[in-house]
Structure 1
């Protein structure tokens, strides 16, 4: 069928007296246009479908990859007769090309590993090397991140887009904050002055964290049960924990809790606000501690300037 279409195209080109040297490039251009139009039509249909964002994204990426593959196959078939005499030369040059393009080849292999290795997917929050951000695109050669942190405190975007070669997955650890378990354990510390009602302080901390994170605790418990079936991990407590340590300066409460990976900063804000409001209503029974430095005057120093004779 391909040969029949090619013959028909050549007949049409001959009618317009187009040189035969231009026949194959024009024929290849027609193939490219058809592949592009078909790919665009399929991607538009996928966009209008009821697929979720992740499935839709993967389907579109598969269409793009299939388009490239069809283009390469069509080019090889079209020029196969011309390339037959250069087989040996291409084989010799292939080793040099592979060495020169080793980073590109490694990035392509990394892309395949990302597709089938479940390292991360678009929408995940990851840290690659020292770069932390949300994955917004996974290309054949590069992964694109919306960076967060750096000069911005907390898990907030700084507006910078970072592109990292896919070969990175073979060289450095990949930290995924939202893979199979989209929750994180986080902690805050509350210093309380000695002499305060520490049992009341503990009660305030516990009731506040339970109220703020109760939804996360329930969801995390279900997700962790799934994790124990998939991986060799022990059961973990997803309920909030309040622990006390008495040091030289104050009584310190550490509040440990699970939180959605996208809500760390907002959750800390809610916890500190709730605890501050509750402590303010204790009428001084619970007081926060802070480091205080007291400067005292030096004792008088008597200097004897008389010389001994």
Structure 2
């Protein structure tokens, strides 16, 4: 024998809600019809009649919405709580992705860096080669925070870091940058002579393009409303500990050539000169003269 499906039944509470809803809609329709008929028969001004019809129509609509909200309030509240719970679970599950998207919006809106810029965020430092909605790809530069050689490693940085960590952009301008490097000495070394030699070498290497850098920095200062820094090479003295003297060299350099000019200056200064406190070794001629004197 074929199975007879059980008849569909509604709970008593749901049935009462549906009946109340039907009565509310029926009452509003009757009231609206009677009101519209009364206005059309008794209001002679067409402008006033049209305004009253529109106002009463909107009023009955608002009354119907409020009535439905009162009738279905408990069910709407339960549905809202369920939606909020689902939304909270979704946010918790996708928190990292949301932070990545927020970081992408933040760095784009703030203009923190562009493709090709050299940046440092947390312990990651390198040249930006790609940007997506979730991550930023850089080619690592090092070693450490003062090196300028590419290590050959690619780092994919999640954009979530840009929300909580500061970003250091080492590419101040598109054409010229300021480069800073430090040379340590002992206090008893001849660091005075080293300071002069470093400054002379820096001036000699920067002289061909120093005027071009000055014009470019003046232009950048006008566009950004900044006080233009001096572009002339300088060597300053620092004493991080009692027994050491550090000479800090700052000079302008073309983007991408900071490591080259640093190595050129250091090679020139230290090629034939020893600034240490040790006495220099006597040359072969001096040795022969000394031997002849002894004889």
TM-score (norm 1): 0.51
2:260 pairs, out of 260, 263, 266, with 266
Matched, 1:210 2:196: no
Pairing 1:19-58 to 2, within 5 Å after superposition: none
1:115, distance to aligned residue in structure 2 (A): 2.6
- Which deviations, in whole Å up to 9, do the C-alpha atoms of 1:134-178 show, x marking residues without a partner? 111111101111112248982112122111111211101100011
Partner residue in 1 for 2:140 = 147
1:288 pairs, out of 263, 268, 274, with 274
Whole-Å Cα distance in 2 between the matches of residues 152 and 288 of structure 1? 27
SS in 2 for 1:236: coil
Pairing 1:95-110 to 2, within 5 Å after superposition: 95-110=88-103
The number of residue pairs the alignment matches comes to 197
Change (3 A) 1:160 1:172: same
Structure 1 residues without counterparts, runs of 5 or longer: 1-86, 281-286, 294-309
Whole-Å Cα distance in 2 between the matches of residues 101 and 256 of structure 1? 46
- Which deviations, in whole Å up to 9, do the C-alpha atoms of 1:164-219 show, x marking residues without a partner? 111211101100011446512314448699998x78x7765444212212355334
Question: Larger C-alpha radius of gyration, 1 or 2?
Answer: 2
- Which deviations, in whole Å up to 9, do the C-alpha atoms of 1:8-42 show, x marking residues without a partner? xxxxxxxxxxxxxxxxxxxxxxxxxxxxxxxxxxx
1:128 pairs, out of 121, 125, 130, with 121
Whole-Å Cα distance in 2 between the matches of residues 250 and 128 of structure 1? 30
Change (3 A) 1:176 1:195: closer
* Residues 186 and 256 in structure 1, CA contact (< 8 A), matched pair in contact too: yes
Pairing 1:187-202 to 2, within 5 Å after superposition: 187-189=181-183
Whole-Å Cα distance in 2 between the matches of residues 107 and 195 of structure 1? 51
- Which deviations, in whole Å up to 9, do the C-alpha atoms of 1:214-256 show, x marking residues without a partner? 355334323432343344543311111245799x999986543
* Residues 187 and 257 in structure 1, CA contact (< 8 A), matched pair in contact too: no
Whole-Å Cα distance in 1 between the matches of residues 202 and 94 of structure 2? 54
1:100, distance to aligned residue in structure 2 (A): 1.6
Structure 2 residues without counterparts, runs of 5 or longer: 1-78, 280-295
Partner residue in 1 for 2:150 = 157
SS in 2 for 1:121: coil
* Residues 190 and 253 in structure 1, CA contact (< 8 A), matched pair in contact too: yes
* Residues 110 and 170 in structure 1, CA contact (< 8 A), matched pair in contact too: yes
Whole-Å Cα distance in 2 between the matches of residues 152 and 256 of structure 1? 16
* Residues 186 and 244 in structure 2, CA contact (< 8 A), matched pair in contact too: yes
* Residues 250 and 289 in structure 1, CA contact (< 8 A), matched pair in contact too: no
Change (3 A) 1:178 1:215: farther
Whole-Å Cα distance in 1 between the matches of residues 233 and 276 of structure 2? 25
2:106 pairs, out of 102, 108, 113, with 113
